[in-house]
């Protein structure tokens, strides 16, 4: 099933807090990219901002951070960026940053506020992706972010989200007929596949491990299987012995459908009866023992059960359709200045009154 509740974010606010969740890897830049980066640094030396919305500056640093996220994501996929693609990305980033700033200023003008605790909670949720605080700090440092910048982006994103939810979305009408028509014409979206709720214990095997090392690991997991057969608690052994992060939950992987796990693991889990523990299963990750808690048969969601979520989905789709005209109309209320590549720095007086937007 592909219907789920999404946060209603502006379609152009794509470089807000969610961009910092990208997995960062070693990156590279070809000769064209290197030249483009050099040009960007030259322009940055001439002006410290890439655009102004009224007197609020969108900083060169913020532009560069967001471009780096995109560039490194492509590098992680082994896709180099040529000059034309780099220019296109930079243009799109600049456009999204301007749209985001216009929305943020309009939200503040409309008196939209956010509970600081909600911002802090969002940051705490983000940190949970890392094993330690040190890992979190190392990651954001490698991305040229600071915790204050992330907090600022979370706050801004949530204010924009609330503005859209309170001001724009109520103007978008979705009728019962619209919802029923969509439900009838997209039956595949409401099919719930067969699912299994399982836990596992994993002993990792490195891809380049020797046969002797693999044999030793296999002996270890067979000893664990013996202990389970003798009645020891699966969750406790998972916490003590498993090499998977799921060990913190006693090996619990929750529910999953076919196609979400590697095939040997999946085939075993779906063939087991609830309450049973598998024999040793080998995958590219190593050796597993799988405990199946329960199974859910394939089914289809009823219209009444999904109607409210469908209303939200169709509202969001209509919002995407109207947004380009909406944001262009909103921009007419604001003075937007984009300095050219040869523009010098501001006068000291202007620089003293302008506010730098660095988040």
Question: Are the CB atoms for 345 and 48 separated by under 8 Å?
Answer: yes
pLDDT at 77: 83
Residue with tokens 């560069």: 64
* 319 within some domain: yes
* 164 within some domain: yes
> Are 61 and 103 in the same domain?
yes
> Are 291 and 337 in the same domain?
no
* 184 within some domain: no
Residue 185 three-state SS: helix
pLDDT at 341: 58
Q: In what order do the strands lie in the sheet with 195-204?
A: 252-257, 195-204, 286-296, 281-283
> Are 168 and 203 in the same domain?
no
pLDDT at 9: 36
pLDDT at 343: 38
* Distance (Å, whole) CA 135 – CA 10: 30
Spatial CB neighbours of 316, under 8 Å, sequence gap ≥ 6 = 6, 8
Domain tally, the chain = 2
C-alpha angle 96-99-105 in degrees, rounded to nearest 5:
140
* Distance (Å, whole) CA 196 – CA 296: 6
pLDDT at 357: 59
* 96 within some domain: yes
pTM of the prediction? 0.61
* Distance (Å, whole) CA 154 – CA 175: 33
* 40 within some domain: yes
Identify the CATH number of the domain in which residue 326 sits: 1.10.4030.10
* 2 within some domain: no
pLDDT at 202: 97
Across the chain, which has 359 residues, the per-10-residue mean pLDDT values are: 34 35 28 40 60 94 88 82 88 92 96 93 88 88 87 92 92 95 94 95 95 96 97 97 95 95 96 96 97 95 94 92 94 92 40 44
Identify the CATH number of the domain in which residue 225 sits: 3.10.50.40
> Are 137 and 35 in the same domain?
yes
> Are 119 and 90 in the same domain?
yes
Domain containing 277: what range?
194-297
* Distance (Å, whole) CA 218 – CA 287: 7
């Amino acid at each position: 099933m592909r219907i789920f509740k999404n946060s209603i974010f502006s379609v152009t606010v794509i470089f807000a807090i969610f961009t910092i969740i990208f997995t960062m890897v070693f990156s590279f830049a070809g000769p064209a990219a290197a030249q483009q980066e050099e040009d960007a640094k030259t322009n940055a030396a001439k002006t410290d901002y890439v655009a102004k919305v009224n007197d609020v500056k969108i900083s060169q640093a913020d532009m560069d951070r967001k471009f780096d996220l995109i560039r490194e994501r492509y590098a992680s996929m082994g896709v180099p960026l040529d000059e034309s693609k780099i220019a296109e990305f930079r243009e799109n980033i600049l456009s999204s940053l301007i749209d985001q700033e216009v929305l943020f200023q309009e939200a503040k003008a409309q008196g939209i506020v956010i509970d600081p605790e909600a911002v802090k909670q969002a940051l705490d949720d983000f940190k949970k992706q890392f094993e330690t605080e040190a890992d979190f700090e190392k990651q954001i440092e490698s991305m040229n972010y600071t915790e204050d910048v992330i907090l600022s982006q979370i706050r801004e994103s949530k204010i924009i989200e609330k503005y859209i939810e309170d001001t724009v979305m109520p103007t978008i009408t979705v009728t019962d007929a619209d919802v029923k028509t969509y439900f009838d014409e997209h039956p595949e979206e409401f099919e719930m596949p067969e699912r299994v709720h399982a836990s596992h214990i994993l002993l990792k095997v490195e891809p380049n491990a020797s046969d002797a090392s693999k044999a030793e690991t296999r002996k270890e997991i067979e000893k664990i299987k013996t202990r389970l057969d003798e009645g020891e608690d699966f969750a406790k052994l998972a916490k003590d012995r498993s090499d998977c992060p799921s060990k913190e939950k006693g090996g619990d992987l929750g529910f999953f459908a076919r196609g979400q796990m590697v095939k040997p693991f999946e085939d075993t889990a779906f063939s087991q009866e609830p309450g049973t523990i598998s024999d040793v299963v080998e995958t590219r990750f190593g050796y597993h023992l799988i405990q199946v808690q329960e199974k859910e048969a394939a089914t289809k969601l009823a219209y009444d059960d999904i109607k409210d979520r469908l209303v939200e989905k169709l509202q969001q789709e209509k919002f995407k359709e109207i947004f380009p005209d909406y944001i262009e109309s909103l921009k007419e209320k604001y003075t937007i200045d984009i300095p050219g590549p040869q523009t010098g720095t501001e006068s000291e007086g202007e620089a003293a009154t302008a506010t730098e937007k660095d988040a």
